[in-house]
Structure 1
Amino acid sequence: GDPEVIGKIGTGIEDFKCSWLIVQALERANESQRKQLYDNYGKADPSCVAAVKAIYRDLGIQDVFLEYERSSHKELISSIEAQENESVQLVLKSFLGKIYKRQK
């Protein structure tokens, strides 16, 4: 996310976090990209972080996320609307509305 919006700088790459982004990148990467990810992920060196981000861009990971987010939202709405109790539906839709497409 944008540090200006979320109020912090993400350090998932440097901290070797097992994030959704790296899992998706590893699933989609070719052999060369996978090697670069293994060589650069988990290192605080700005050039290593930049290399990982470049692979994310090359693989279109942002678009992959946006599609995942859209389809997950659609699935959640369907599940919520399957609830018989309308009050429960209202509460769940309200909560979903607060977290879907949130900026911070």
Structure 2
Amino acid sequence: MDDAKLRRGKPCWHTLPGIGLNAINDGLLLDCSIDWVIREAIPQHPHQATILQTLYETKRKTVIGQMLDSDSVDLDLYTWERYNQIVEHKTSHYTYYCPLALGCYLADNICYMTEVQRFAYKIGRLFQAQDDFLDVFGDETVTGKSSTDLADRKCSWVVCRTLDKIRSDSNKLKEFKENFGQSDESRIRIAKRIICEAEVEKDFKDFQQKLAQELYRDADNFIIQELCTVLRNAIDSLYDRKK
């Protein structure tokens, strides 16, 4: 949807010869297969219906998240509340809550799903903030993704933090608004310069360290003891990642 050319180090599916808009139907074909695969794999599982419902809800929230992400174009409406809504729907629910919930249902452990969701949404905020940071400051040859957030006017952690720091400077804010969300590479460089001058890179590193420490404490004291190691490993895989 953002017309990116690179994803996970490979050309995006829609860019391949003969694919184009057919990628939409290919995605729907994969989506339609999920229900069938689950029914075939666990036909007698007592929580099969709950598992299918969890996946339906995950797809619904993700579609809403993508809509919120795509419709966020007015800088005056870029707030942390809006950003957190996008992260919850576009990232946290499917990246962390859904896998953890499915694991619990498969293991017939369904007592503490509120606590599972709370942790999943919190680690999802770290994951998305890192993605936002790497889009601006990362190396595409390492991240394996095209850098598009500034040109696409994305309501990201980097942009929200930048606005926090320049809103009181009318000239700086005007310059940022004039150059943010433009396809011209020279104007994107100006927007990035303003971000760097606001020391957003340092702010992110402080944010990442503080949130990771909170997550480690939450993982060590998690109410489902069997998940403690899993949660710590998830944090380990994220902390200070480069891709």
Could you state the TM-score of these two structures normalised by the residue count of structure 1? 0.92
Larger Rg: 2
% same residue: 26
CA shift for structure 1 position 85: 4.1
Matched letter for residue 159 of structure 2:
I
CA deviation vs aligned residue, 1:48-84 (integer Å, no higher than 9, x gap): 1011110011011100100000000011111112224
Which of 215, 231, 239 is 1:92 aligned to? Answer: 231
Q: 1:1-104 maps to which residues of 2 (within 5 A)?
A: 1-29=138-166, 30-104=169-243
Q: Which runs of 5+ in 2 are unaligned?
A: 1-137
Residues of 2 paired with 1:78 and 1:10: CA distance? 33
- Runs of 4 or more above 6 Å deviation: none
- What secondary structure does 2:174 align onto? helix
Q: CA RMSD in A?
A: 1.2
Could you say which structure has the greater relative contact order, defined with CA pairs below 8 angstroms and 6 or more residues apart? 1
Q: Which amino acid aligns with 2:202?
A: D
- Residue type matched to 1:93 in 2? R
Equivalenced residue count is 104
| Superimposed CA distance per residue, residues 6-65 of structure 1 (whole angstroms, 9 cap, x where no aligned partner) | 122311011111111111101101221111111111101111101111001101110010
- Corresponding residue for residue 59 of structure 2: none
Q: Helix, strand or coil for the counterpart of 1:56?
A: helix
TM-score (norm 2): 0.41
